[in-house]
Structure 1
Amino acid sequence: MARIGVEYGLTDVQAALQQLGHEVVQLRNESDAQGCDCCVVTGQDSNVMGISDAVTQGSVITASGLTAEEICQQVGNKVQG
């Protein structure tokens, strides 16, 4: 499965992605995003982590307004190509 970076505080998303078999990495700083296939951020602080500055080649999903299930669906779409 994919390696997914999840911003601190999104514990429900982290748990849901782990149940699907993904390797989940908690994002504490921008270097944590390196090597991730996809990153999930809260969207509360735009670009605080620097992820939009091409720290990772993977997609960035903003969790704001989405359920954990909806985020998992988006992650699945992004990592499957």
Structure 2
Amino acid sequence: MKSVAVEQGLTPVKQYLEERGCQVVDMTADQPQSQPGVCAIVITGADKNVMGIQTVVNNVPVISADGLTPEDVYHRVQEFIH
């Protein structure tokens, strides 16, 4: 099963994803993209670009949770879980 890496400080998002059956792993500060099986990375958005465009790290989409509800984040994550 593919998992979602979630940055620290996003406990409500992490809990919501887990409640919906997502496998959630804590994002490691050094290299989150090195975690095998991660299909998306969810960040707080504190350092996102002005347009809010998702970036890709080593072919893993990065989703900014800034301004999104846990449900919104879940729906975005679902686009990347296959």
- TM-score, with length taken from structure 1: 0.77
Q: Are 1:5 and 1:39, in contact at CA under 8 Å, matched by a contact in 2?
A: yes
More strand by share: 2
AA matched with 2:12: D
| Residue segments in structure 2 that go unaligned for 5+ positions in a row | 50-54
| Residue segments in structure 1 that go unaligned for 5+ positions in a row | none
The aligned runs of 1:28-47 (5 Å cut-off) are 28-34=28-34, 35=36, 36-46=38-48
Identity %: 32
Q: Give RMSD over aligned pairs.
A: 2.0
More helix by share: 1
- TM-score, with length taken from structure 2: 0.76
Aligned pair count reads: 75
Shift of 1:77: 1.4
Match of 2:74 in 1: 72
